[in-house]
């Protein structure tokens, strides 16, 4: 049956959000890890980086594939992940050995039952940045009673041992899987809690950490924990998986984790939530929500001005509710004595910022745009001075071949200035150009093997330390601040301001501009990813991986490119206090060059775009948009 446009609107959402977040939160935690250092692991037991509530973890990958595009893109390995994961196989082998040697009545489906029962999983980031530490609470499955007779085994088995005791005289066991890989678990009545490493519960001396021990005891007793309260979900329907079996799946991920710790640039967003509620095979769908704190949102997160400045057809583009005061404090730390300039820059920026990636550039060279508070001559002149000095101070890399004649103190604020650095640290000069009455552009070449420009045709090629370089560019134009490591993207943005290039706003419905916070063009994204994959796998060095990429990745990207652009928007009215709000995904079919059916899109009016109400990822809209938000 041919899919309607409404049913294909989910496309880039699944790739960028659901696949990325769910795979990272569910797939990664059970993958192979390096041995953790001895002692307590660094984590906040009351505030995990991610939460997964699932009616059955084994069904989670299959339910993700209800999104048609993901069904086409992801492989069977994703669906069968829990069947072949190394940690699961190691644990299953250890349990089989225990059952055989000690004549226990444990059936082969013991591990399968763990993944087929309701589960509550808390996850924290490990030093490698992934969600490497986890705690899983399982209930109502009979497993706890099955495992309560382990005391005698632990006294005589080298692989299984009792390592601690919780309140109520509940034993904690350690199951050693390999060198540096040990699971902890405790069972009581109908509840079982499994921990990814001893350091989740124990300190370097093997003693139970007070707060964490209390949390695990609470899970084994009442089944309650404070993690849901941290994400304002404790009062939600079905919020406590211990008392009410979760229906479907729920994945919650903190914005701090998604932003790699740079939440100062996302201060108004605390978390993202993805819900799957089955109502029969046909009606089941994924829903999206965001935990918003309106008090921290600049101008209520109105992004309309930014979409009028940015070029059309981005691979991905998002609006960021930046905290400019916190951002300027961060800039002051890297500016080397430029605290006053950093504060001056932060004080003169207003509202959200935007960051966009385009197919013509690379993943490491997006364009950033922010808006000024005021455009009066005095404020602009002061800002121009601060920008020039800060740009010269922060931007640049050591260039061993830099011409000594160009070295000197960075001034960077005068028209046509060409400045370098002191003799101890050579950099190519900063050039400053006035392109009209209201446009100032600063640029400095920075050598890099992954640069966006070739050094062969550059007049300063002899001074570069690599065959490629980044033409890092900053522009102050008509009340906007524009920055990119790729000068072409800055030029395109300036062309939009001069009405010589189409704006992103031209492809979005006008009534949605203020609340649109994300837009994706699958055809551009596929082109960008394919080229980046090719660049990362040179044929003379990575022939095997390059062939695998051509065989498996490229066909999936070609399928992705057939889908129309999509965008995400918040409700027109945000709550007065922090809380969850539903998000809506729109299929901007009118701006698509080619839809999923191969039809050319002739209309330029994006106002008739199909919507996927309240973030439904498989194209099945809810009857009442927004009703699933708290």
User: Looking at the structure, do residues 381 and 242 belong to the same domain, yes or no?
Assistant: no
Domain stops at, among 445, 477, 509: 477
Q: What is the pLDDT of residue 553?
A: 84
Q: How far is CA 493 from the centre of its chain?
A: 25
- Band of pLDDT at residue 288, cut at 50, 70 and 90: confident
Q: Which of 142-146, 228-232, 435-439, 547-551 has the lowest mean pLDDT?
A: 142-146
Q: How far is CA 157 from the centre of its chain?
A: 43
Query: Which of the pair, 225 or 77, is modelled with greater confidence?
Result: 225
Q: How far is CA 502 from the centre of its chain?
A: 29
Selection from 48, 14, 60, 517 nearest residue 254 by Cα: 48
Q: What is the pLDDT of residue 202?
A: 92
Look at residue 132 and tell me whether its pLDDT is greater than 50: yes
Look at residue 152 and tell me whether its pLDDT is greater than 90: no
- Is 601 inside any structural domain? no
Q: What is the pLDDT of residue 13?
A: 36
The answer to whether the beta carbons of residues 165 and 188 sit under 8 Å apart is no
Half-sphere exposure of 557 (CA within 13 A, CB side): 19
Handedness of CA 63, 66, 70, 73 (dihedral sign): positive
Q: What is the pLDDT of residue 153?
A: 55
In the 8-state DSSP scheme, what is residue 609? Answer: -
- Is 463 inside any structural domain? yes
Per DSSP, which regions of 74-166 are E strands? 119-124, 133-139, 160-166
Euclidean distance between CA atoms 455 and 464, whole angstroms:
7
Main-chain dihedrals φ then ψ at residue 346, nearest 5 degrees:
-65, -35
Euclidean distance between CA atoms 429 and 162, whole angstroms:
65
- As a whole number, mean pLDDT of residues 216-240 equals 75
**pTM score over 0.95:** no
Best-predicted range by mean pLDDT (27-36, 249-258, 287-296, 351-360): 351-360
- Is 66 inside any structural domain? yes
Domain stops at, among 253, 273, 303: 253
Q: What is the pLDDT of residue 410?
A: 42
- Band of pLDDT at residue 499, cut at 50, 70 and 90: very high
Look at residue 76 and tell me whether its pLDDT is greater than 70: no
Euclidean distance between CA atoms 409 and 431, whole angstroms:
13
Crossing angle of the two packed helices 339-347 and 377-394, in degrees rounded to 10: 130
- Is 76 inside any structural domain? yes
To which H or E segment does residue 328 belong? helix 324-334
Record the tokens describing residue 134, joined without a space: 């986890």
Q: Which of 11-25, 199-213, 350-364 has the lowest mean pLDDT?
A: 11-25
Domains in the chain: how many in total?
2
- Is 597 inside any structural domain? no
Handedness of CA 220, 222, 226, 227 (dihedral sign): positive
Tell me the residue range of the domain where 138 lies. 31-253
Q: Which residues contact 166 (CB under 8 A, 6 or more apart)?
A: 172, 186, 208, 213, 216, 217, 220
- Band of pLDDT at residue 118, cut at 50, 70 and 90: confident
Q: Quick: pLDDT tens for 303-322.
A: 999 999 999 999 999 998 88
- Band of pLDDT at residue 182, cut at 50, 70 and 90: confident
- How many other C-beta atoms can be found within 10 angstroms of the C-beta atom of residue 520? 25
Record the tokens describing residue 575, joined without a space: 């709550």
Best-predicted range by mean pLDDT (25-34, 149-158, 287-296, 405-414): 287-296
- Is 249 inside any structural domain? yes
- Is 483 inside any structural domain? no
- Is 13 inside any structural domain? no
Look at residue 419 and tell me whether its pLDDT is greater than 80: no
Q: What is the pLDDT of residue 445?
A: 94
Domain stops at, among 231, 253, 275: 253
- How many other C-beta atoms can be found within 10 angstroms of the C-beta atom of residue 532? 14
Selection from 372, 368, 309, 320 nearest residue 346 by Cα: 372
Euclidean distance between CA atoms 118 and 113, whole angstroms:
10
Q: What is the pLDDT of residue 387?
A: 92
Query: Which of the pair, 422 or 498, is modelled with greater confidence?
Result: 498
Query: Which of the pair, 86 or 491, is modelled with greater confidence?
Result: 491
Q: What is the pLDDT of residue 487?
A: 96
Per DSSP, which regions of 435-523 are E strands? 439-447, 453-454, 468-477, 480-484, 516-520
Query: Which of the pair, 620 or 147, is modelled with greater confidence?
Result: 147
């Amino acid at each position: 049956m041919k899919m309607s446009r409404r049913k294909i609107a989910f496309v880039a959402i699944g790739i960028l959000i659901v696949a990325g977040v769910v795979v990272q939160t569910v797939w990664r935690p059970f993958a192979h890890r390096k041995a953790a250092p001895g002692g307590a692991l660094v984590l906040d037991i009351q505030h995990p980086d991610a939460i997964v509530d699932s009616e059955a973890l084994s069904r989670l990958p299959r339910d993700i594939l209800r999104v048609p595009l993901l069904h086409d893109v992801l492989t069977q390995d994703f669906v069968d992940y829990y069947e072949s994961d190394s940690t699961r196989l190691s644990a299953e082998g250890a349990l089989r050995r225990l059952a055989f040697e000690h004549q226990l009545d444990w059936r082969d489906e013991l591990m399968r039952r763990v993944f087929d029962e309701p589960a509550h999983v808390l996850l924290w980031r490990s030093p490698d940045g992934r969600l490497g530490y986890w705690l899983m609470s399982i209930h109502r499955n009979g497993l706890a009673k099955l495992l309560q007779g382990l005391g005698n085994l632990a006294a005589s088995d080298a692989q299984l041992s009792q390592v601690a005791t919780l309140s109520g005289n509940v034993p904690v066991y350690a199951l050693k899987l390999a060198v540096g890989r040990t699971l902890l678990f405790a069972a009581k009545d109908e509840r079982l809690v499994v921990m990814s490493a001893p350091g989740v519960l124990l300190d370097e001396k093997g003693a139970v950490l007070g707060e964490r021990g209390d949390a695990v005891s609470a899970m084994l007793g009442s089944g309650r924990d404070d993690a849901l309260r941290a994400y304002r979900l404790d009062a939600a329907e079905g919020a406590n998986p211990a008392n009410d079996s979760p229906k479907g799946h729920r994945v919650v991920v903190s914005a701090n984790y998604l932003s790699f710790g740079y939440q100062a640039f996302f201060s108004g967003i605390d978390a993202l939530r993805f819900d799957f509620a089955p109502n029969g095979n046909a009606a089941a769908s994924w829903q999206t929500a965001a935990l918003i704190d309106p008090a921290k949102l600049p101008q209520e997160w109105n992004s309309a001005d930014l979409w009028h400045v940015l070029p059309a057809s981005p691979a991905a583009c998002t609006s960021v509710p930046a905290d400019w005061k916190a951002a300027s404090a961060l800039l002051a730390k890297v500016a080397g004595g430029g605290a006053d300039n950093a504060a001056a820059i932060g004080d003169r920026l207003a509202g959200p910022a935007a960051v966009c990636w385009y197919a013509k550039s690379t993943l490491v060279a997006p364009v950033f745009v922010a808006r000024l508070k005021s455009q009066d001559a005095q404020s602009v002149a002061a800002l121009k001075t601060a920008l020039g000095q800060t740009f010269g101070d922060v931007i640049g890399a050591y260039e061993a071949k830099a011409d000594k004649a160009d070295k000197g103190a960075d001034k960077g604020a005068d028209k046509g200035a060409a400045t370098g650095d002191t003799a101890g640290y050579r950099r190519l000069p900063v050039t400053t150009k006035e392109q009209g009455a209201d446009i100032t552009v600063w640029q400095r070449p920075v050598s890099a093997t992954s640069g966006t420009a070739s050094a062969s045709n550059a007049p300063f090629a002899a001074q570069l330390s690599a065959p490629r370089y980044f033409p890092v560019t900053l522009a102050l134009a008509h009340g906007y601040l524009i920055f990119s490591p790729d000068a072409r993207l800055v030029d395109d943005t300036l062309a939009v301001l001069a009405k010589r290039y189409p704006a992103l706003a031209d492809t979005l419905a006008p009534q949605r501009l203020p609340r649109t916070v994300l837009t994706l063009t699958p055809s551009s994204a596929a082109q960008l990813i394919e080229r980046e994959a090719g660049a990362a796998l040179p044929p003379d060095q990575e022939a095997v991986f390059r062939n695998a990429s051509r065989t498996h990745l490229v066909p999936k990207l070609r399928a992705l490119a057939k889908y129309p652009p999509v965008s995400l928007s918040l409700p027109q009215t945000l709550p007065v206090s922090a809380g969850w709000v539903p998000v809506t995904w729109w299929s901007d079919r009118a701006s698509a060059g080619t839809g999923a059916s191969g039809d050319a899109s002739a209309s330029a009016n994006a106002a008739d775009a199909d919507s996927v109400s309240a973030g439904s990822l498989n194209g099945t809209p809810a009857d009442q948009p927004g009703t699933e938000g708290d």
